[in-house]
Amino acid sequence: MTRDEIILAVKDIITTIAPDEDLDGLNNTDPLRDQIELDSMDFLDIVMELRKRYGVQVPEEEYGVLNTLDGCADYLLPKLEGQELKMVNA
């Protein structure tokens, strides 16, 4: 997966978890929780969906790096190398 595909994948996961949120104006560098309504359970659901769709295990001590879309892309890029984008809400 490319960096852009990872961002699309994370947005798709967020759409599954928080379907009423408008993700069109999300900034890649600002914390997601400052831009949309995500509580700690929503965040855990994002982590669990990453594991379900892509087999990515994110240790709890590394959750903070997934705070922004850029952080997600940076963290996930080496872990998702060679994987295909799986969109549910396309």
User: 43 is in which domain, residue-wise?
Assistant: 3-76
pLDDT in tens, 59-77: 999 999 999 999 999 999 9
Q: Is residue 10 included in any domain, yes or no?
A: yes
CATH number for position 24: 1.10.1200.10
Q: Residue 90's pLDDT is what? A: 65
Q: Provide the percentage of residues in the chain whose pLDDT is more than 70.
A: 99
Number of domains in the chain: 1
Q: Is residue 62 included in any domain, yes or no?
A: yes
Residues of the chain with pLDDT under 50: none
Q: Residue 53's pLDDT is what? A: 95
The DSSP call for residue 72 is H
